[in-house]
Amino acid sequence: MKKAIDPIKSEVIARFLLATAEEMAATLMRTAFSPNIKERADCSTAIFDEAGEVIALAQRVPIHLGSMVGAVSEILKRFGLSQLRPGDMFIANDPYNGGGTHLPDINVIAPVFVRGQLVAFVANIAHHADVGGMVPGSEAAVCKSIYQEGLRIPPVRILNEGKLNRDVFEIILLNSRTPDERVGDLNAQFAANTVGTRSVVQLFERYGVKSTQEAIAGYLDFTERRFRAAINRLPKGRYESEDFLDGNAAGELCPIKLVLTVGKGRLHFDFTGSGKQLESARNIPYRALLATAYTVAKAMLDPEVPANAGYYRTMIIHAPAGSVVGPVPPAAIGCRSISASVLGDVIAHALSKAMPKQALAGSGPHHLFVLSGTDPRNGVYFVDYETVAGGMGARANRDGVDGVRVHASGSSNLPAEALEHAYPFRIERYALWDESSGPGQFRGGAGVVRDYRVLADDIVVSLSSERQNVASPGMLGGGAGACGAFILNPDTAHAQVLPSAAADIALPRNSVLRICTPAGAGYGDPKKRTIAAVQSDVLQNRITPEYATKVYLEGDRYES
């Protein structure tokens, strides 16, 4: 018989660990050098138990969970407990060698000891703006092999009992186009783990190692029970869904197929039948698949369930090796986050069939672009890695959210002021995209329009996206969201629609690059939308009166 766990003490310990993970995140962002981390918060922090189970995860970028899940066990397998020491830190980024889900995301993991006993691990991940490879930013859909995507780092020791391993550090710097940023960002990651280690040690010393471990184990068990109860509220059965990524050539599509089986306290996700791994960087490595499934299931079934390994136990996830959701080396995987947004729609659609009152229509994923060149203000080469949010699909009872990162994605758009301070661009338009929302009884969330004026001479851009060819699907009569687009010199006689995936496109000085992100789809028959809701959309300039009459209204239902 298990020893009874004090629920109050267990909750206090769990909340302390979550607060510690948030403190680590604050440290990382406040001390980072690159705008991508300090402004866009493209980073995550977590705490693991001594066996590598997630016990606290800061609410930042959910797909980063996939980069950290399994990393601790890989470190233990490679080095063994006997080779770990206080002050050690390990670094990794390679998805095929226990390190992450794409190469720009660098993990830094530290074991935590109390009086010589290993009690936990603290970890953080930061998206570095450049880690080498064929294109600036180390992420482009056009990459055909992971060898083109940048420096691959298996789990290796970067700090040895607090002393920097200069050899590994210098290899990383040499492979980046912006080494000064890498110095600042890596040191910020070391600082975040130092802060986390200090707090975790204080916790274990306060309550004792055995008592704290028992409380943590009890909290994971509670999380599992709570999520199994949420699953048991669903009707048992088999639910199928399908959506598509862009394929290997123009006009081709790659399916993501899912059979979701809801059993007693368990969800089984089977992606058999999904397309073969792609010859581009749109593939979704297995750990990114796990992170997306965990995130979407939590969001739809029980958003308040603690984000720890307890509820992961309730899910079985199968993906065929060599498929787009289970790629094998040397498949490129850099743009897995955009693809994972479509994957999230597949999972959400299957769950929506099981829980129609909380259904979620298709969403618009963010668009990725990397601008690089020499800043004429200081003569320094830069890499501006950015993503701009799309729109969330409508729910069965409410409109979708405008301009938001969807499913397992989570970092912010770069503020215009920070962008213009750091790089030679001027933002001339930054707005929600009018009439992009998928119509419905409840409309989808709007996409975003953002215009960049180029203020330098040697600027190139790489572009990556989804849902420029396959729109977010509506539900129960709702309309699809608008597809995204990249446009050079919009609203001029020389306007040019750029490819949905490309590398090193030259942008002349004074040219304008427009990013239009895809919107969320609608839910339900548009003719059932209330007059008040339609009038509100018109008053907010989301839609014109003509659009309202054509799409939503019948006869004299609407008066301007």
Q: What is the pLDDT of residues 273-296, one digit of tens each?
A: 999 999 999 999 999 999 999 999
The separation between CA 341 and the C-alpha centre of its own chain, rounded to angstroms, equals 8
d(C-alpha 411, C-alpha 41), whole Å: 6
Tokens of 199: 């707090």
Asked if residue 368 has pLDDT above 90, the reply is yes
Which residues make up the CATH 3.30.450 domain(s) of the chain?
A: 7-223
| HSE of 49, CA atoms in CB hemisphere, 13 A | 20
Q: Which residues contact 453 (CB under 8 A, 6 or more apart)?
A: 425, 426, 427, 428, 510, 511, 512
Residue 1, pLDDT score: 53
d(C-alpha 469, C-alpha 488), whole Å: 18
Residue 4, pLDDT score: 76
Closest to 293 measured CA to CA, from 321, 272, 315, 265:
315
User: 442 — phi, psi (to 5°)?
Assistant: -125, 120
Percent of the chain with pLDDT over 90: 92
pLDDT, mean of residues 393-404:
97
Pair 214, 119: CB distance under 8 Å:
no
Q: DSSP for 377-424?
A: TTTEEEEEEEEE-B-PPPBSSSPPPSSB--TT--PPPPPHHHHHHHSS
SS3 call for 382: strand
Strand order in the sheet with 266-270: 237-246, 253-263, 266-270, 315-318
The 10s digit of each residue's pLDDT in 158-190 is 999 999 999 999 999 999 999 999 999 999 999
Q: Which residues contact 419 (CB under 8 A, 6 or more apart)?
A: 35, 384, 386, 425, 427
The 10s digit of each residue's pLDDT in 208-246 is 999 999 999 999 999 999 999 999 999 999 999 999 999
d(C-alpha 79, C-alpha 52), whole Å: 14
pTM higher than 0.85: yes
Pair 132, 150: CB distance under 8 Å:
yes
Residue 66, pLDDT score: 67
Reported as a pLDDT band with limits 50, 70 and 90, residue 554 is low
Closest to 335 measured CA to CA, from 546, 533, 553, 142:
142
Reported as a pLDDT band with limits 50, 70 and 90, residue 70 is confident
Residue 342, pLDDT score: 97
Pair 143, 135: CB distance under 8 Å:
yes
Percent of the chain with pLDDT over 70: 98
Handedness of CA 18, 21, 27, 28 (dihedral sign): negative
Residue 382, pLDDT score: 98
The two beta strands, 266-270 and 315-318, are: parallel
Residue 119: C-alpha distances to residues 49, 109, 381, 428, 510 (Å): 7, 14, 43, 52, 56
As a whole number, the mean pLDDT across the chain is: 95
The 10s digit of each residue's pLDDT in 236-281 is 999 999 999 999 998 899 999 999 999 999 999 999 999 999 999 9
Residue 560, pLDDT score: 40
Tokens of 205: 């010393």
d(C-alpha 284, C-alpha 275), whole Å: 12
SS3 call for 514: strand
Closest to 401 measured CA to CA, from 358, 367, 442:
442
SS3 call for 245: strand
Reported as a pLDDT band with limits 50, 70 and 90, residue 559 is very low
Topology classification of domain 7-223: Beta-Lactamase (3.30.450)
pLDDT, mean of residues 388-403:
97
Tokens of 42: 């493209």
